[in-house]
Amino acid sequence: MANTRSSTKRAKQAVKRQLKNKSVKSATKTALRGVIDAIIAKNKELLKVAYPLAVQALSRAASKGAIPKKRAARKISRLTRRAKTI
């Protein structure tokens, strides 16, 4: 447990940050799942809608610091490669 006022504050900030990052990561995973489902179903119309949303979600998560920028770039690259197979 935090002993000083500053460490108590840092602990509170860490909890807030964890909750925010968890929310952003969850939204990103949901967007990715939509693209993967469209790829599996070979549904081009659904893919045209879901793919930009997933890329946007990954970029936003990276810019907010919820995930590392290189991880977002890697996921976008792999997602693009899979989307082109349809």
DSSP H or E run through 14: helix 5-41
Locate 51 and state its tokens: 């793919």
Give the angle subtended at the CA of 40 by the CAs of 38 and 53, to the nearest 5°: 25
Residue pair 12/4 in contact by the 8 Å Cβ criterion? no
Per-residue model confidence as pLDDT tens digits over 28-47: 999 999 999 999 999 999 99
pLDDT in tens, the chain (86 residues): 789 999 999 999 999 999 999 999 999 999 999 999 999 999 999 999 999 999 999 999 999 999 999 999 999 999 999 999 98
- Structural domain boundaries in the chain: 23-83
The model's pTM: 0.88
d(CA 36, CA 17): 28
